[in-house]
Structure 1
Amino acid sequence: MYTTSSVFLQSLANAGITHIFANWGSDHPALLEDLQRQRAEGNGKTGCQIVTCPNEMVALSCAQGFAQVTGKPAAVIIHVDVGTQALAGAIHNVDRGRTPVIIYAGASPFSSLGEMRGSRNEWIGSLQDIPDQAAIVRQYMRYTSQIDSGKVAAHVLQRALQIATSHPKGPVYLWSRREVMEEEVDLSAVQAKVSSAKWPSIEPTALSEKAATTIATALIKAQSPLIIASHSGRDPKSVPLLTKLSGTLAIPVVTACPSAVAVPFSHPYLVGVTYLNGSSHSHHLAKADVILVLDSDVPWIPGIQPPHPDARVFVVDSGDALKTISAVGHWHIDAEMMCNADIVLALEGINAAVATNLVAGSNDLVQQRGADLAAEHDEWLRKLEQLEDSWPANLESGRATLPNVLGVLRKSIEQQTPSRSLARTLILNESITNYPLPWIHMRTEAPGGQLTSGGSALGWSLAAAVGAQLAGRDHELIVSIVGDGSYMFGVPSSAFWIARRYDTPFLTIVINNGGWKAPRQSMLGCHPTGYGSRASGEELSVGFGPNSPDYSQIAVAASSGWAWGKRVGATGNVKEAFEDAITEAIRVVLEERRCAVVDCVLESI
C-alpha cells in the first residue's frame, strides 16, 4: 500500500534531502509504516537517513548544524502543535541564522467517526487540534503550507525547498492532517518525479555596476576606510574575496557579532572581534570616513557607539538589507546606499571596480595604512598570548581564565590532530558573554572553521555538533565551546544520547562560571551602581551554585558511560590539570571515537 506519506518521503529523497531528524508522535502512523515498507523492500534501508531525536529543539539544532556545514537543507519531523512549540529557541536560530531547513509537522485528525483511515482514535486528537497550527512559527518562517493531498505533496515540497534555498535563506514549515497522510495513492504517484531542476532557487543577485563603482571609488579615496563583516563567511567563497579587498586597499576589518569566519585570523588587517557589549567596538569606527557593512544584522549600536556622522556608509546584504523578510521590528542604519546582493557576487564586483579605478599615486597612503594596521594586529596578538600565559600566581588555589583554557586547547589541537593544525577542526562557539574569546584565541584560519548559531537562543551547539558530524565533511575534530547555561539549554541528556546512537564523537568545553552571566551584565548596563551591583549570582537568582551540576557526568550518564568526562579547575595545580584533561579529552575523541566533555571551572559570577 502507498500513501501520501510514501509520496512525501520519496519526494524528500528525490530532492536531495539525505537526513531527517525526527521526533515521532501520534500523527505519524503512515510515515512510520512507509519507512518500514522501504526497509522491507530496500534491504533495511530508507531513502533518507532517519535520526531519532528525543527532543524537538535538539532535532532542529542538529538539522541546523548539518545545513550550516553542508550548505544544503536537512529535514525535521515533529509532532502536532506541542512538538511545534517544543522546537523552542531553535526556531529563532534557524531564522536569524538564515539556515535552510524543512520542518514538517503532522496535525490532529479532522474526522472522528472512523470514516477514514487516520480518524481520531485517541483522546489527544481533540486536545491537539488548534485553529492555526502554523501560526505558532509563521513569523519565523520563509514559507508555511498545508499538504492537502498526496496528489500535490511533491509540488508543495518543491515550492518550500525553492523558497528555503533562495536569498535570504531560511526555514519553511509544512503540515498535514493525519487522514491526508494516510490517503492511498497509486504506485505511479510515488514513482513520478518532480524535477528539482524545474524548481530552482532564485539566481543570486550581483551589485549593479553603478553600486560597485560607487563603493569601490569611495574606498579608494577614503582616508580611513573600515569594513564591518558579520555573516559574510556563511558562504566560504567570500573569505578570499574579502581578504583580497582588504589587502588591496589596506582596509581594517572588524567582525561584529560574527557567525562565520570572515577573514583568516592571521590576516594582518583583521583588527578586532566585537559583540557590542558596552564599549567593546573598535576604535576604528569613530574615525572611519567610509564604512562598508557586509551581511550584518547589528554592525554597531547607535546609542552606544555610532560612527562619525559624516561617514559614508554602504550596506550590502544577501537578500534582506532592510530586514523585512526576516521580520526584524525596529531596525535602521544611517546609510548612503542599501544593497541586496549575494555577498560573493558583490565582493567580486567591488574587487573588479577597485582594479579598474585604482590609479597610480594612491599607493603611499595605502602602504602606510597597511603598515600601521599590521603593527596593530601584531600588538593585539602579543596581548592575546600574554593573556593565555598569565596563569594565577598561586596555581594551587587560583582559578584559570578562559584565555588560559583556550590557549591550552588550541596548542593541544595543534599537537594532537593528524594535520598538526586547526585547519580541519570545526569550532562551534556558543560561549555567549565570552563570544569574542574563542574567535580570537582559537585563531581560526579556514573558511567555515568556526560557527555560531547566528541567533540568540541558547542550546544550539551540542546538537549542532552531532549534525555537523553527520554531514560527513573532512573534519578531524569538532569542538563545542559552550557556556554552562547554554549547555543546560542544549538538553545534553538528549544530545549525547543521539551522539552515541549515531556515532558522532565531538569534544565539549564547558565554560563553567557558575551561572548566567548575561542577565547580570545586562542589569549592570542599566544599573551600574544599584543594589544588584553588589549582589552575588546566587542572590540575584542567576547563579547555579553552590551545588552546580557536574556537566561532564551528565554526558556520561546520557550515553551509558560511552562519553568521557571530567571536571577541572576547582582543585590542584590548575595549569597542569587543564593541560592533562584537555590532552586526554582530545585523545579520547580522536583515537577512541567517543565524546569527551571537559567541565572547566573558572571564576564564578
Structure 2
Amino acid sequence: MPEVIRSVETVGEAILEMLQLRGVDTVIGGAPTSMIEAFAKYRAQGKPAPRAILTPHEQTAVAMAHGYFAATGRPQAVYLYSTVGTANGVGGIINAARARVPMVILSARSPIAEQRGVAGARDIHVQWSQESYDQAAMVREYVKWDYEIRRADQVADVIDRAFEVAMAEPQGPVYISIPRDVQAAAMDEIRASAASRRITDARMMPDPARLDEAADLLASAENPVIVTSELGKSAAGRAALARLCDVGGFGVLEASPVYSNLDPEHPCHLGYIFASQVSPDLEKADVIFVIESDVPWFTARVTVPDSAKVIQLGIDPFYQRLPMRGFPCDVPLIGHAEPALEGLGARLESRIPADLRDRRIAAHRSRRQDQQAQLRDAIAREGQLSEITPLWANHCISRLLDNDTIVVNEYPIDLRIVQPGAAGSYFGPSHAGGLGWGFGAALGVKAARPDKTVICTLGDGSYYYCVPASCHQIAAAEDLPMLVVVFNNGGWNEVRKSVVSTHPQGWASKANEVPLTRFGVRAGFEKIAEAFGGFGAVVEDPAELLPTLEAALRAVKDEGRHALVNVVVSV
C-alpha cells in the first residue's frame, strides 16, 4: 500500500491532514487551537482543506454531524471545547449512540504543562478549573471508544482507529481528547497509508439454519406482520424489504420510524406505530418479524398473543447497550438486513402460494384505501375550523413536497399525511429523545445535500432545546437556506398526555389545565429568524397557512434565505 508523507508543523496540523486523508470533508463546531492555525496556513497557501463550520453551540455541532451522516453515509469530525463543551454536546452524543450514527468527536483538554516555555502550556484561569480527572467519563457510556492523544507519533494510528471503531457494526460515535500543549507540539511530518487499511465494510450474513427457521414460520403463518424502525438507514435494505413483501404479501408496520423504511405507496404498508397509537395487526399476529427495531411495540398498550412467534433481525437484534429490553426472540437473525431479506425471499418464493399472496395484498390495499378516505375526510373537516389543528398543518406541509424534498422531523409530523417517498427523503429523531436535535440535524443534511430542499418540522419544545440562535446563525453564515416549521401549541403536550395516561382518573386529568405543561407566553419564534436575515411569519388562520408556507418556501428557493413559519396549533 503506497505511503503518504506530508510535511506539518504541529500535532494539530497532523490531525487535520489525517482527517482529510480519511475522507472528512467537513469539520463541525470549530477546531482545537493548533488545528485553527493549520486552517489559517492552508488558507494562506491556497491548499485544500475540509470545510470548517463554526457553530456557536456544541449541541448544534453534534446534531449537524448526525444529519450529515444520515444524508451521506459518511462520518464527519466534530469539535467540542474541553469539559464544558463536551457537557453541551452530551445530549446529541446520546442521540447518535442510540441511533448508531458514527462520528469522530475531537475535544480539547486542558494543557498538561504549566511551565513557561512550553507551547500551549496553561496560561488562562479556566485551564485549571475546567480540567477533570477523567474528561471522557462524561460520555463513556455512550461512545464506542475513547482515547487521549499524548504523543505526536500516535496521530495516524489514533485517527485510523477512531474511524475503524466508529464504522464497525454496530456503528456509533467515538471520542478523542487532545491536551492543548500536545496539539501545539512541534512535528515535522505525518506518515500514513494512502488509503485506510482498517476496512470495516462487509455484509454480515445470518446463520443459514436460522434463516430456514424463519422461513418455515413465515411460510406457515396465517397472520404474519413485519415491524421495523431503522431498516431504511440502508437503501438496499429498504428495497429488499419491498421485494420480500411482493413475495409473501406481508404487511409492514413502521414503529416510531427514524428513516423511511418502505415506500408508503406500497400496498403492504400498514401504517405507523407511535406512543399514542396501537395496531390490531399485532394483537392478532401469529408471527411477528421484527427488523432493526429497538421497541417494536408498547407492552403497556398492546397485548401480543403469547403464542405468537417472534423473529428478530438486526446487526444486534438484542440491543445489548440498552439496560433493559423485554421483547421475546424465538428466532434470532444476526446480520445486515439486506442479505437476510434476500435469503428469506429466495426460501419463500416457491412456498407462498400466489393466490394467498394476492389475497393478502388486496386486503392490505383495501384497508389502506379506506383509511386514506377517512383521513381525507378528517382533513377536510379540520380545514374548516377556526383554529389550525395538527392534522391540517400536516396536510399543508404535504402540499410542499416534491421529489427533491428531504423532511427532517423532531416529533410533530404525521407520516400518514407527510409521506416520505424515496429512501433518504425522511429523517426522524433518535429514540433516545434528546430534544433539540432536529434543527441542527437539518442543517447537517442541507450542508451535505445542498441540491435538496430541506424542510425541518419541530414542536415548540424541540425548538427551545435546539439553541435557536445558534442554528439560525449557522443557516445564515454558512448559506444553508431551508424551511423550518414550528408547531407551536404553547407547552409540553407530550408531557400532558403522559400525565393523563399514567393517571387517567387523577387530579390532572380533571383540571382545566395540567400543571407544569404550559409555557404561559406566546413566543415570536419568527422574529429570531428575522434577526439573522431569514424569512419569518406567524400563522393562526387555517386558510392562511398554505399560502404562508408557500411564501416561505419561495424565500428559500428563490432568495436563498432560510425561513421559519411559526404555526399556532390547537392542543
For Structure 1 versus Structure 2, the TM-score category normalised by the shorter chain is over 0.9
Cα distance in 1 between the residues matched to 2:339 and 2:383: 49
Per-residue CA deviations over 1:511-557 (Å, capped at 9, x if unaligned) read 111111111111112111211113355x6122122x22111111211
Contact 1:276 1:300 survives alignment (8 Å): no
**C-alpha separation in 1, matches of 2:448 and 2:383:** 41
Task: Name the SS for the 1:38 alignment partner.
Answer: helix
- Once the two structures are superposed, the pairs formed by residues 171-570 of structure 1 within 5 Å of their partners are 171-186=173-188, 189-190=189-190, 192-201=191-200, 203-277=202-276, 280-318=277-315, 320-324=316-320, 327-355=321-349, 357-358=350-351, 362-391=353-382, 393=384, 395=385, 398-413=386-401, 422-431=402-411, 434-435=412-413, 437=414, 439-455=415-431, 456-472=433-449, 474-475=451-452, 477-537=453-513, 540-545=515-520, 547-557=521-531, 559=532, 562-569=533-540
Mapped to 2, the partners of 1:209 and 1:473 lie a distance apart of 42
Task: Write out per-residue CA displacement over residues 8-45 of structure 1, whole angstroms, 9 at most, x where no aligned residue.
Answer: 00000000000011245xxx32222122111122x2x5
Gaps of 5+ in 2: 1-7
Residue-pair matches, total: 563
CA pair 536-428 structure 1, distance change in 2 beyond 3 A = farther
Residue pairs, 1:136-155, within 5 angstroms: 136-155=138-157
112 and 55 in structure 1: CA distance in 2 versus 1, 3 angstrom threshold: same
Inter-CA distance 526–108: structure 2 relative to 1 (3 Å threshold): same
Q: Structure 2 CA distance, aligned partners of 1:194 and 1:265?
A: 45
Q: Distance in 1 between matches of 2:122 and 2:542?
A: 62
Q: Structure 2 CA distance, aligned partners of 1:149 and 1:123?
A: 25
Determine the C-alpha separation between the residues in 1 that align with 2:243 and 2:342.
10
CA distance in 2, matches of 1:155, 1:525: 52
The answer to whether the 8 A contact 2:492-2:517 is kept is yes
2: CA distance between counterparts of 1:84 and 1:59? 11
Inter-partner Cα distance in structure 2 for 1:390 and 1:401 = 10
Question: In the alignment, which residue of structure 2 is the partner of 1:582?
Answer: 549
Counterpart of 2:399 in structure 1: which amino acid? K
Q: Return the offset for 1:453.
A: 2.4
| Secondary structure, aligned partner of 1:193 | strand
Show the counterpart of 1:87: 89
- Counterpart Cα distance in 2 of 1:125 and 1:46: 32
Cα deviations across residues 263-282 of structure 1 (Å, max 9, x unaligned)?
111111111201133xx221
Question: Is the partner of 2:77 in helix, strand or coil?
Answer: strand
Cα distance in 1 for partners of 2:430, 2:341 equals 21
Amino acid in the other structure paired with 2:213: T
CA drift of 1:460 comes to: 1.1
Give distance in 1, aligned partners of 2:417 and 2:451. Answer: 23
Name 1:419's counterpart in structure 2: none
Mark the runs of 5 or more structure 1 residues left unpaired by the alignment.
Answer: 414-421
Contact 2:450/2:480 (<8 A) preserved: no
Mapped partners of 1:386, 1:2: distance in 2: 68
Which of 148, 158, 161 pairs up with 1:159? 161
Write the distance in 1 (CA, Å) between the matches of 2:336 and 2:527.
Answer: 45
Q: Do 2:30 and 2:52's aligned partners in 1 also have CA atoms closer than 8 Å?
A: no
Residue aligning to 2:72: 70
**CA deviation after TM superposition for structure 1 residue 392, in Å:** 5.5
CA drift of 1:387 comes to 2.3
Matched letter for residue 291 of structure 1: I
User: Residue type of the partner of 2:372?
Assistant: L
Partner residue, 1:417:
none
Residue matched to 1:33: 37
1:603 and 2:550 aligned: no
Deviates more, 1:522-531 or 1:124-133: 522-531
> How far, CA to CA, are the matches of 1:212 and 1:314 in structure 2?
10
**AA matched with 1:503:** D
Matched residue, 1:102: 104
- Between the aligned partners of 1:241 and 1:96, the Cα distance in structure 2 is 24
User: What's the offset of the Cα at 1:581?
Assistant: 0.5
Give the TM-score normalised by structure 2.
0.95
Contact persistence 1:35–1:46 (CA under 8 A): no
Q: Judging changes above 3 Å, is the alpha-carbon distance between structure 1 residues 444 and 29 closer, same or farther for their aligned structure 2 residues?
A: closer
Q: Cα deviations across residues 119-168 of structure 1 (Å, max 9, x unaligned)?
A: 11111111011110000001000111111212111111111101111111
CA distance in 2, matches of 1:276, 1:412: 27
Q: Tell me, yes or no, if the aligned pair for 1:400 and 1:603 is still in contact at 8 Å.
A: yes
- Is the 8 Å Cα contact of residues 383 and 543 (structure 2) preserved in structure 1? no
Asked if 1 retains the 8 angstrom alpha-carbon contact of 2:278 and 2:301, the reply is no
Would you say the 8 A contact 1:109–1:125 is kept in 2?
Answer: yes
Identity %: 27
**Deviation of residue 578 (structure 1)?**
0.8
CA–CA distance in structure 1, aligned partners of residues 48 and 204 of structure 2: 37
| Contact persistence 1:206–1:349 (CA under 8 A) | no
